Structures are given as structure tokens and as C-alpha cells.
Structure 1
Amino acid sequence: MSGQDAAPTAGGRLDRYFRLGERGTSVRTEALAGATTFLTMAYIVLVNPAILGQAGLPVASVAAATCFAAAFASILMGLVANVPLALAPGMGLNAYFSFTVVQQMHVPWPVALGCVFLSGVVFLILTLTGVRQLIVSAIPQHLFAAVAGGIGLFIGFIGLKDAGIVVANPATFVALGNLREPGAALALLGLFIIGALSVWNLRGAMLVGIVVTTLVAVLTGFARMTPEPYSLTALTQTAFKLDLAGVFRLSGGLAEILFVFLFVDLFDNIGTLVAVTKRAGLMDKAGRIPGLNRILITDAVATIVGAMAGTSTVTSYVESAAGVQAGGRTGLTAVVTGLLFLATMFVAPYAQLVPLAATAPALIIVGGLMLLPLSEVDWEDPMAAIPAFLTVAMIPLTFSIANGLAFGITAHAGLKLLRGKAERADWFLFLLAGLFVVRFVWMSAA
């Protein structure tokens, strides 16, 4: 009897807190939507450690940190902002962290984590003071799209490189690898599996592809299954290892690192928010996102906590749209997704058993899907096409998101001046462009 009385009470509390009835949904629908979102983005538990592991971070620890950060951020987003938006360490920024900041700029990974932490603090301050609006208004829409597309090519290129499908060549810089090599062959198998499952619209296609490819790698002897006793203490190898003191000992590169972490996180969030909230019908008639400040504050806090746990920038995931498609309309969807990530922590350290050949196909597929925003660029207008192309091309070709941003913003500002379209309101854009010019000069002299 008491159990029957308690159920409506619990359901009623959830209804009132998340406004389920008001948004035309139910606890069951939200739970299914949360599970759907989880399945579509669970690949990050395997892919993020594979990327950050190449920067020297312990793979098992990063896997646990990834689960913890995704769980904390998604639950917080659901409870505070009441939107069906899940978060996790972002693709693109994890590649920038590993390949540019740590490997190219030779920044130790604890210091790089300190940079992520500081970028989260700056993001929080900018959101609370309203300065983020100034930054958003200074950058044209076609550069948002170009950055997303450039990062997609960057991620795809990394996947092809990890798979051995694309290799270095002294004559042509890059060339086709030996596809008969076990790693390349396995990656192609994984690419086929994920592609086939994706066209059949199977939720969790990437996760299934990674797991199946890993099993094939184990069965063929390419990867060895050597499980070790599991303990949640695996998280302690990266938790609270960030080096804030080391951040302030960095030379001129600090401003660049912070800018990229901040810029990409900010606009990745804006783009994801627009896509997800529009599909969920949560935008008002003026095209505004209700509770935007709460959403961005949550994102900033999530990045800070993620850095302390031991992972790169945490951001909103466009895969949340899958949960919305399944009926999710409130923050309860995000809470369910977060709880599933929390449960995944208990198996996360076994991510170190997954070979690069198994995660590379996911990178290639994700990279391809990130090219969609390029359709928003007016390629017939040189004012938009030239800066957008430079941004898209320079990110993968220089292995640097910062270089792509620098070329795109500088080109946009320069073309505005040449066309006589500069306005007083563009002062921040020209300030950014001027700083990038100084950066180019400084890098050339170094």
C-alpha cells in the first residue's frame, strides 16, 4: 500500500521539478530519451582516453575521469537548466589538448589541465559579466561554421593517421598507407561496421563498432586482453593533478591556448544549444534560448570540474538531439544520461584494452558528421568564402585550431576594411585580428 502511495508522489515531484506535463512528456519518455542520448555518445568513454593517452595521460584514469565529468555535467545541466542537453569532454578540443598543446608546444599534461581549468574560470567570468555576448557578436556566422568543419577535418585526419590508412611521405607529405597491415585492415572493418549500422539508424552505432572491432582485434591476436583488478582509485592518477602554477610560467603561448579552449567551447556550445533547443521546441518566438545563462554557467563549471578530474574541456554534445528525437524535452533526460555515465565508471578503466585501430573509425565518422555546418557558408560570396576556406584548410593542414581561427578572423577583418564595410561596432573583431597579426609576426621571428 505504501509503495503504491509513494509512486505517484515521486512522479509528481519529478513532474513539478522538471515541468514534464507542461512540456508534454513523461518520466518513461524522458528515461528512454536519456538512454538514447547515452548510447549515441558513449563512444567518448573509449575515444577520449585514446586521444589523451597519446599526450601521456594514464588511459584507465582518463576513461574514469571522462565518465565522471560526463555524469557530473549532464546531471548538473538537467537539474540547474532543465534542458535535455548532455555534456562530456569535447571532440576537437581533446585533439587540440593532446596533439597541439602537449605534443607540439611541449606543455606537460598537468599544465595543460591547468589551462583547461583556467579557461573554465574565464568562461564563467565572461558569462557572469555578459562579455561573452561581445565575443559572440564580433564573430560572423560563417566562421562558426568554418571552425566546426575545420575541426571535423582535423578529427577525421587524426583518425586516418591513427588507423595507418594515411601515413607520412617525404615527397608528398602524406600518402596512402599499407591497407594490408593489421591495424589499417581492422580500422577499415570498424569503419564498415559503423557506417552500416549508421545508415540503418541504430542508436549507439559507433559504440557497437568500437566494441566489435576490439573483439576482432583480440581474437586475431592484434590486441591482448589482460584484465586487471578494477578499483575506483584509478581516477586518482589524473584527479587533482593539474598544475596551475605551471600555467603562469608559460610564455606567450598561454594566451593562445586559453583563447582556443575558450573560443571553441563557447561557439560549440552556442551551435549545439541552437540545434538541440530548436528541435526540442524550447526556443521562444524571438529565437532566444530560455535560461541561456544557466546553461553556459553549468558548462563553465563542468569544464572546471572536468579539469580537476583529469580530462580536457567538457562541452555540450550535439548527440543530445538523438534523445530529443526520442521524445526528451526536459532536464530529466540529461539526468538519466548522467546516471548511465556514472554507472559506466565501474568498467571505464578497461578502455585501455581498446586499440587505436578500433577507435580510429569513430574519429573518422565523427569528423565527417561535423562537416554539416559548412552548408551554412555562402560559398558564392568571397567575403564569406575566403575566410571560411582559410579556416577550414588551416586547421587540419597545420594541425592547429588556433592557426585556423587566426587566418579566418584576420582574413574576415581585412576584407571588411578593403570593402569599406568596417563599422565602429567591429572594434573587438579588429582587436582580435590585430592580436593575431602580432602572433604571426612573433611566430615567424621565433
Structure 2
Amino acid sequence: MRSKLEHYFGFSARGTNWRTEILAGFTTFITMAYIIFVNPAILHETGMPIAAVTAATCLCAAFGSILMGALANYPLALAPGMGLNAYFTYTVVKAMHVPWQTALGAVFLSGVIFLVLTFTGIRQLLMNSIPHQLHAAVAGGIGLFIAFIGFRNAGIIATSQATTVTLGNLRAPTTALALFGLILIAALQILRVRAAMLIGVLTTTVAGVFFGQVHWQPLPYHLSSLGETAFHLDIRAALNIGAAEIVFVFLFVDLFDNIGTLVAVANRAHLTTPDHRIPRLNRIFFADAAATIVGSLTGTSTVTSYIESSAGVAAGGRTGVTAIITGLLFAVSLFIAPLLGVIPSFATSPALILVGGLMLTGLGQIEWTEPVIAIPAFLTVTMIPLTWSIADGLSFGLTSYAALELLTGRGRRSNWMLYLLAALFLLRFFLLHRSG
């Protein structure tokens, strides 16, 4: 049985083993476990019960990650998307005064549309239309993005009215602990320790407990609370013409976030083909769409692939076993969710910073002397962290690439999907501007 599983997941071809994959799964889980608490805190502002959303978050993350690993055989973990949950709460429910039940109905419809686009092959065409020259730019931009998040969460950088960002207080206890974790993980990586990320996060957490910097206050939680949001979505109300814009914003943001994350993780794990294609795209997109539908049915916003999966890839994860282990840990979290709150952000931040740095290695593949490639690549790399959005950065890069091709007479009929995708990006900007 074990050898059959190793053959199915391609352990030999990808140069991995059970120990590496399991460690990678734990690493991915620890770096993204914050979503178990952050997502319910955000959606609770809509009036949704926090315990119910906590259970829904764990359930859909477990379902999506396990499905992704088993069906698509990729080390991609899924959970409710951070940007999308904020849009769900602050724009759709609070600003537009849409009941959360109707908003969940809109999430469900966007998931169904995803399935239709996947089965008809349209999502795959959209994915393959992105020039491979921009793949490295997307990976580099996401690397800067997650490193920026890590620096911020660690307190190494802070906001400033004069300069937007500035150096944080390095003498703060939590910041000092984060710097300790950063040096520890870096040293372990130099020593080629595969479990460097996991060891660093856990050691920093223990150090934080020792110095009294881990403050844990578990909230009341019961798995049965899931019934307070499960199947409470209002699809009939979401079908109203006025909700069409909401559905399409969920659709576009999730689509483009997924494309960016998928490209970055696949490149980092060396899972692309020699002609820059990503195998089994239809399975990847099916897992994502199915997870979004399950999320809406249980009571949470759109589910998407997580860039924190790169932490597992950096730890050696190369197959779907990494995602399955992450999903199983989310399943266990259904019963012990409050206990996971003991892992603080200053302990996971060093992992995000170093993973971000590792993702910059592909920038050397870009032809920086060729303006039609260099300019869109530059916009992609810089706009992802500056707009705090993978989708926005990809939008700037691909739209500018299409525009430069057309304006310089390089446009070709064979690139029609590229131009259509650029038009969709422009439509997305228009919809987000109206919605914001």
C-alpha cells in the first residue's frame, strides 16, 4: 500500500519522501494557522457567530487542502482568502448593507461559475495565456509581499505618516524574539536542516512563553456551533440582478489570486513542464472551486490557494502529501481550535520573511534589457506588495504587457486570450472601484 501511494504521488520522480512531505505539511499549517482566528474575527463583524465561522474555516480548509493534494497532487493548501473575507465583511455586508446570508449565496454562485469555467476549459486557457516571462515576476512580487507581511507582523517595520513605512522598535520583546527566530531559521537552512522552518517557529514560540510574551486566552468554542451558519446561505437573494456585481468581484479576485499563487508555488517547487505549463490545471481549479462551494455552504467567504504553501515547499514539500497533511491538521483543528492560538505571529513571521527571500531567485530569468518584458515584470513585482494584492499586481503586469504588444505592433491573433484576459483585468479594476 505504501509503495502504491509513493508511486501515485511520484515520490521518486520529485525526489522526496514521507518524512520530508510530513514536515512540509506541518510547516505549511503552522504558517497559515492564523486564519483559524483571523477569519472568524473579520466575519464576526457581519453578525456571524464567531464559533460557527471558526468551525467552518477549519472544515473548508481541511476539505480543500486534502482534495487538492489527493486529486491534483500539488503541495497547495487552501483556506478562506484574506482579501476576500475583508471585501465580504466591510464592502458587501457593512457598506452595501447586504445580509451575510445573501453574501454567502454570492460566494456559492461564484464557486459554481468557477466549476463551469473549469469544465469548459476556460480557466485553463486564461491561465495558459499568461506569458511565461511574467511567471518569475509574479513569484518575485509574491516573495516581496509575504516578506513584507512577515516584517510587519514581527514589528521590524512599522507604519509612518511621513514615510509610509519605517524601522520598527527593535528593542520590543516580540520584535527581538522574531529576530532570534529569523537568525535561527537562517542558520538551520545553511546547515541544510529540512525541518528548519518548523523548528524555528516552535523554538521561537517556546522562547516567547519563557519570556512571558505569549498571551493566550481561548474563546468559548463548540463544534456543534457550525449549525448556526451551515446552510444558512440565501442563493435566491444572491441571484437578484443587484448582486451580480458582488458575484463577479468574488469570481475575478479569486481567479487572479489563484493564478498568481499557483504560478509562484509551482515555479518554486519546479513542478512546471519545460514549455512553462502547469500540469493538471483542471484538477487544481476543480479543487479550488469545490472548496469555495463547501465554504459557502458551511458559512465562510471564498476559499483560495494560500501563498504560505511556499513555506512547505521551502521545507522540501513537492507532492500532494504536503497539502493532505496540512488538511488533516485543519481537520484536527476542528476539535482543538482554541489551543492553536498559542502560536504567536512573531514566531511565524521569520518563516514568511525567509520564504519571501527564497522566491526572489527566479527574477534573474527575466530579460531586463527587453522593455516589453522588463516594464510589465517591474510593475508586477512592485505592485503586488505595494497594493497588498496578488491580483492587483498581476493585473498591472499583464495589462501593461498586452498594451505594449498592441501599441508597438507586436499583437498577434494567436494571443487573443491574452487580450481578453487584459480586458477582464480592466473590468475587474472598474468593478472594484465601484464596489470600494
Which position in structure 2 is the counterpart of 1:350? 339
Give the C-alpha shift of residue 137 in structure 1: 3.3
Counterpart in the other structure of 2:42: 55
| AA partner of residue 34 (structure 2) | V
Q: Is residue 137 of structure 1 aligned with residue 140 of structure 2?
A: no
1:259 and 2:252 equivalent?
yes
Residue 206 of structure 1, aligned match among 197, 203, 224 = 197
Q: Counterparts of 1:352 and 1:219 in 2: how far apart (Å)? A: 16
Q: Which amino acid aligns with 1:364?
A: I
AA paired with 1:261? Answer: D
Q: 1:420 aligns with which of 399, 402, 409?
A: 409
Alpha-carbon distance between aligned partners in 2 of 1:388 and 1:226, rounded to the nearest angstrom: 44
User: In the alignment, is the contact (CA less than 8 A) between 1:89 and 1:311 conserved in 2?
Assistant: no
CA distance, structure 2, for counterparts of residue 21 and residue 313 of structure 1 = 26
SS of the residue corresponding to residue 77 of structure 2 reads: strand
Distance across 2 between alignment mates of 1:55 and 1:363 = 22
| 1:113-136 superposed Cα distances (whole Å, 9 cap, x missing partner) | 666554443332222111123212
CA spacing shift, 1:190–1:109, aligned 2, 3 Å:
farther
Residue 246 of structure 1: how far off its partner (Å):
6.1
1:217 paired with 2:208, answer: yes
Question: What does the per-residue CA deviation read over 1:170-211, in whole Å, with 9 as the maximum and x for residues that have no partner?
Answer: 221211122122332232223223333333333443333333
**Counterpart position of 1:37:** 24
On the 8 A contact 2:139/2:264 being kept in 1, the answer is no
Aligned: 1:161 with 2:152: yes
Q: Is the 8 A contact 2:214 2:342 kept in 1?
A: yes
Greater shift, 135-144 or 240-249, is seen at: 240-249
- Using the size of structure 1 for normalisation, the TM-score is 0.74
Q: 1:196 aligns with which of 167, 187, 191?
A: 187
**Equivalent residue, structure 1, for 2:398:** 409
1:45 touches 1:63 (CA, 8 Å); kept in 2? no
Asked if 1:313 corresponds to 2:306, the answer is no
In 2, the alpha carbon distance for the partners of 1:169 and 1:333 equals 39
Q: Would you say the 8 A contact 1:157–1:396 is kept in 2?
A: yes
String of CA shifts for 1:299-326, please: whole Å, max 9, x gaps: 4323433454547534384566578x68
Distance of 1:376 and 1:229 partners within structure 2? 51
Letter in 2 for 1:191: L
Instruction: Quote the Cα distance in structure 2 between the aligned partners of 1:398 and 1:435.
Output: 19
Aligned amino acid, residue 160 of structure 1 = F
8 Å CA contact 2:185–2:351 kept in 1: the answer is yes
Tell me, what secondary structure is at the counterpart of 2:166? strand
Which stretch has the larger CA shift, 237-246 or 292-301? 237-246
- Counterparts of 2:427 and 2:151 in 1: how far apart (Å)? 34
How far off its partner does 1:386 sit?
0.3
The separation in 1 between residues aligned to 2:180 and 2:426, in whole angstroms, is: 45
Q: Does structure 1 conserve the Cα–Cα contact (< 8 Å) formed by 2:160 and 2:166?
A: yes
Return closer, same or farther for 1:256/1:294 CA change in 2, 3 Å cut-off.
closer
Query: Aligned match of 1:269 in 247, 262, 268?
Result: 262
Report the Cα distance in structure 2 between the residues aligned to 1:209 and 1:273, rounded to whole angstroms.
24
Is the CA contact 1:260–1:401 (under 8 Å) kept in the aligned structure 2?
no
Rounded to whole Å, the distance in 2 between the matches of 1:210 and 1:237 is 34
The answer as to whether partners of 1:115 and 1:258 remain within 8 angstroms in 2 is no
Structure 1 partner of 2:83: 96
Cα 1:55–1:381 shift into 2, 3 Å: farther
- Is contact 1:51–1:98 with CA below 8 Å preserved after alignment? no
Write the mapping of 1:2-151 to structure 2, written as runs, cut at 5 A.
11=1, 18=5, 20=7, 31-49=18-36, 51-52=38-39, 55-56=42-43, 67-77=58-68, 79-81=70-72, 83=73, 85-89=74-78, 94-97=81-84, 102=89, 117-151=108-142
Supply the AA of the counterpart residue of 2:390: I
Partners of 1:398 and 1:333 in 2: CA distance: 30
C-alpha spacing 1:80/1:162, structure 2 compared with 1 (3 Å): closer
> CA distance change for structure 1 residues 223 and 175 in 2, over 3 Å: closer, same or farther?
same
| Residue in 1 that maps onto 2:420 | 431
Paired with 2:244 and 2:8, the residues of 1 have a C-alpha distance of 54
Q: Displacement, 1:337?
A: 5.8
Higher mean alpha-carbon deviation, 221-230 vs 55-64, is at: 55-64
Q: Distance in 1 between matches of 2:280 and 2:385?
A: 35
5+ long unaligned stretches in structure 1: 1-10
Using the alignment, how far apart are the partners of 1:22 and 1:350 within structure 2? 32
Partner secondary structure for residue 151 of structure 1 = helix
